[in-house]
Amino acid sequence: MTRLFLVRHGPTHAKVMVGWSDLPADLSDTAALSRLSAHLPQTGLVVSSDLCRATATADAVQGSRTRLPHDPNLREINFGAWELRSHSEIESQSPDLIRAYWDHPGDVRPPGGESWHQVCARVDRAIDALIAAHRGRDLIVVAHFGVILTQIQRALRLDTHAVFAQRIDNLSVTQLTFLPDGHWHEGRINHVL
Protein backbone atom coordinates (compact mmCIF):
# COMPACT_ATOMS: atom_id res chain seq x y z
CA MET A 1 0.00 0.00 0.00
CA THR A 2 1.06 3.57 -0.67
CA ARG A 3 -0.04 6.30 1.68
CA LEU A 4 -0.52 9.82 0.34
CA PHE A 5 -0.24 12.74 2.72
CA LEU A 6 -1.65 15.65 0.71
CA VAL A 7 -0.57 18.94 2.28
CA ARG A 8 -2.00 22.27 1.18
CA HIS A 9 0.63 25.00 0.96
CA GLY A 10 0.76 27.95 3.33
CA PRO A 11 -1.64 30.86 2.76
CA THR A 12 -1.08 33.52 0.11
CA HIS A 13 -3.76 35.86 1.54
CA ALA A 14 -4.82 36.69 -2.02
CA LYS A 15 -8.50 37.51 -2.48
CA VAL A 16 -8.46 36.63 -6.17
CA MET A 17 -8.34 33.44 -8.21
CA VAL A 18 -4.79 32.12 -7.88
CA GLY A 19 -3.84 29.19 -10.07
CA TRP A 20 -0.54 29.18 -11.93
CA SER A 21 0.62 32.59 -10.68
CA ASP A 22 3.70 32.15 -8.55
CA LEU A 23 2.63 33.94 -5.38
CA PRO A 24 4.63 33.24 -2.21
CA ALA A 25 3.14 31.59 0.86
CA ASP A 26 3.05 33.20 4.28
CA LEU A 27 5.07 30.74 6.36
CA SER A 28 5.33 32.90 9.46
CA ASP A 29 3.38 30.42 11.63
CA THR A 30 6.43 28.35 12.49
CA ALA A 31 4.60 26.54 15.29
CA ALA A 32 2.00 25.22 12.82
CA LEU A 33 4.76 24.19 10.42
CA SER A 34 6.57 22.35 13.22
CA ARG A 35 3.40 20.52 14.23
CA LEU A 36 2.76 19.60 10.59
CA SER A 37 6.30 18.33 10.06
CA ALA A 38 6.14 16.27 13.27
CA HIS A 39 2.85 14.71 12.16
CA LEU A 40 4.13 13.58 8.75
CA PRO A 41 5.89 10.19 8.45
CA GLN A 42 9.64 10.55 8.97
CA THR A 43 10.46 8.15 6.16
CA GLY A 44 8.05 9.81 3.72
CA LEU A 45 9.26 11.15 0.39
CA VAL A 46 8.48 14.84 -0.15
CA VAL A 47 7.34 16.17 -3.52
CA SER A 48 5.69 19.44 -4.40
CA SER A 49 4.28 21.47 -7.21
CA ASP A 50 6.88 23.73 -8.80
CA LEU A 51 5.09 26.91 -7.69
CA CYS A 52 6.95 28.75 -4.92
CA ARG A 53 4.10 28.64 -2.40
CA ALA A 54 4.28 24.84 -2.55
CA THR A 55 8.07 24.47 -2.78
CA ALA A 56 8.62 26.81 0.19
CA THR A 57 6.04 24.95 2.26
CA ALA A 58 7.70 21.65 1.34
CA ASP A 59 11.07 23.10 2.36
CA ALA A 60 9.58 24.13 5.71
CA VAL A 61 8.25 20.64 6.55
CA GLN A 62 10.88 18.48 4.87
CA GLY A 63 13.23 17.99 7.80
CA SER A 64 15.54 15.03 7.10
CA ARG A 65 13.11 13.45 4.61
CA THR A 66 14.16 12.72 1.03
CA ARG A 67 12.97 15.31 -1.48
CA LEU A 68 11.82 14.38 -4.97
CA PRO A 69 12.00 16.87 -7.88
CA HIS A 70 9.22 19.48 -8.09
CA ASP A 71 6.45 18.42 -10.44
CA PRO A 72 4.67 21.04 -12.58
CA ASN A 73 1.80 18.58 -13.05
CA LEU A 74 0.96 19.12 -9.38
CA ARG A 75 0.13 22.78 -10.02
CA GLU A 76 -3.17 24.37 -9.10
CA ILE A 77 -5.96 24.79 -11.66
CA ASN A 78 -4.96 26.98 -14.58
CA PHE A 79 -7.50 29.81 -14.46
CA GLY A 80 -6.26 31.35 -17.71
CA ALA A 81 -7.75 34.83 -18.28
CA TRP A 82 -9.39 34.68 -14.83
CA GLU A 83 -6.04 34.45 -13.09
CA LEU A 84 -5.54 37.05 -10.32
CA ARG A 85 -9.04 38.43 -10.82
CA SER A 86 -11.81 38.49 -8.22
CA HIS A 87 -14.94 36.42 -8.59
CA SER A 88 -17.08 39.57 -8.75
CA GLU A 89 -14.87 41.07 -11.49
CA ILE A 90 -15.12 37.91 -13.58
CA GLU A 91 -18.86 37.64 -12.95
CA SER A 92 -19.42 41.21 -14.12
CA GLN A 93 -17.67 40.45 -17.43
CA SER A 94 -18.56 36.78 -18.03
CA PRO A 95 -21.55 35.93 -15.81
CA ASP A 96 -22.78 32.95 -17.82
CA LEU A 97 -19.37 31.37 -18.21
CA ILE A 98 -18.31 31.61 -14.57
CA ARG A 99 -21.72 30.39 -13.43
CA ALA A 100 -21.42 27.40 -15.78
CA TYR A 101 -17.86 26.77 -14.54
CA TRP A 102 -19.05 26.36 -10.93
CA ASP A 103 -22.58 25.04 -11.51
CA HIS A 104 -21.69 22.46 -14.17
CA PRO A 105 -18.01 21.72 -13.64
CA GLY A 106 -16.32 19.28 -15.92
CA ASP A 107 -15.75 20.46 -19.47
CA VAL A 108 -16.33 24.20 -18.92
CA ARG A 109 -13.07 26.13 -18.75
CA PRO A 110 -11.96 29.71 -18.31
CA PRO A 111 -10.61 31.39 -21.46
CA GLY A 112 -7.05 30.10 -21.88
CA GLY A 113 -7.39 27.90 -18.79
CA GLU A 114 -8.27 24.30 -18.05
CA SER A 115 -11.50 22.51 -17.25
CA TRP A 116 -12.00 20.41 -14.13
CA HIS A 117 -11.71 17.23 -16.21
CA GLN A 118 -8.37 18.44 -17.61
CA VAL A 119 -7.07 19.21 -14.10
CA CYS A 120 -8.14 15.78 -12.85
CA ALA A 121 -6.47 14.00 -15.77
CA ARG A 122 -3.21 15.95 -15.30
CA VAL A 123 -3.03 15.39 -11.54
CA ASP A 124 -4.13 11.74 -11.73
CA ARG A 125 -1.27 11.04 -14.17
CA ALA A 126 1.23 12.72 -11.83
CA ILE A 127 -0.01 10.86 -8.73
CA ASP A 128 -0.15 7.55 -10.60
CA ALA A 129 3.45 8.04 -11.75
CA LEU A 130 4.56 8.78 -8.17
CA ILE A 131 2.77 5.70 -6.84
CA ALA A 132 4.26 3.49 -9.58
CA ALA A 133 7.78 4.80 -8.99
CA HIS A 134 7.58 4.59 -5.19
CA ARG A 135 5.13 1.76 -4.54
CA GLY A 136 4.72 0.99 -0.86
CA ARG A 137 6.26 4.27 0.30
CA ASP A 138 4.68 7.18 2.12
CA LEU A 139 4.40 10.16 -0.21
CA ILE A 140 4.08 13.68 1.17
CA VAL A 141 2.63 15.76 -1.65
CA VAL A 142 2.69 19.51 -1.00
CA ALA A 143 0.30 21.08 -3.45
CA HIS A 144 -2.87 23.09 -3.87
CA PHE A 145 -6.59 23.11 -3.10
CA GLY A 146 -7.62 21.86 -6.55
CA VAL A 147 -4.95 19.15 -6.62
CA ILE A 148 -6.11 17.77 -3.27
CA LEU A 149 -9.74 17.84 -4.38
CA THR A 150 -8.93 15.80 -7.50
CA GLN A 151 -7.57 12.99 -5.37
CA ILE A 152 -10.43 13.13 -2.86
CA GLN A 153 -12.87 12.90 -5.74
CA ARG A 154 -11.04 9.95 -7.25
CA ALA A 155 -10.58 8.05 -3.98
CA LEU A 156 -14.08 8.62 -2.61
CA ARG A 157 -15.82 8.55 -6.00
CA LEU A 158 -17.62 11.81 -5.27
CA ASP A 159 -19.37 13.89 -7.86
CA THR A 160 -17.83 17.27 -8.55
CA HIS A 161 -20.40 19.23 -6.53
CA ALA A 162 -19.72 17.07 -3.48
CA VAL A 163 -15.96 17.39 -3.80
CA PHE A 164 -16.13 21.18 -4.29
CA ALA A 165 -18.01 21.35 -0.97
CA GLN A 166 -14.95 19.94 0.84
CA ARG A 167 -12.97 22.36 2.97
CA ILE A 168 -9.20 22.19 2.54
CA ASP A 169 -7.40 24.63 4.81
CA ASN A 170 -3.89 25.91 4.29
CA LEU A 171 -1.32 23.69 6.04
CA SER A 172 -3.88 20.90 6.41
CA VAL A 173 -3.21 17.22 5.69
CA THR A 174 -5.50 14.89 3.78
CA GLN A 175 -4.51 11.24 3.96
CA LEU A 176 -5.48 8.70 1.32
CA THR A 177 -4.13 5.18 0.90
CA PHE A 178 -3.77 3.39 -2.43
CA LEU A 179 -4.16 -0.33 -1.83
CA PRO A 180 -2.41 -3.10 -3.83
CA ASP A 181 -5.76 -4.18 -5.29
CA GLY A 182 -6.17 -0.76 -6.91
CA HIS A 183 -8.76 0.54 -4.45
CA TRP A 184 -8.45 3.62 -2.27
CA HIS A 185 -8.94 3.99 1.47
CA GLU A 186 -9.88 7.32 2.98
CA GLY A 187 -8.03 8.64 5.98
CA ARG A 188 -8.51 12.06 7.52
CA ILE A 189 -9.52 14.90 5.26
CA ASN A 190 -8.45 18.47 6.02
CA HIS A 191 -6.68 17.58 9.26
CA VAL A 192 -5.37 20.79 10.78
CA LEU A 193 -2.75 20.30 13.47
CATH (domain of 33): 3.40.50.1240
- Domain hosting residue 102, numbered range: 2-186
- pLDDT of 29 > 90? The answer is yes
Count of domains forming the chain = 1
Separation between Cα atoms, residue 60 and residue 58, nearest integer Å: 5
Residue 192 lies in a domain: no
Asked whether residue 142 is domain-assigned, the answer is: yes
- In this prediction, residue 50 carries a pLDDT of 98
pLDDT at 105 over 90: no
Mean pLDDT computed over 138-162:
96
Q: Is residue 193 part of a domain?
A: no
pLDDT for residue 104: 84
- 51, part of any domain: yes
Residue 59 has pLDDT above 90, yes or no: yes
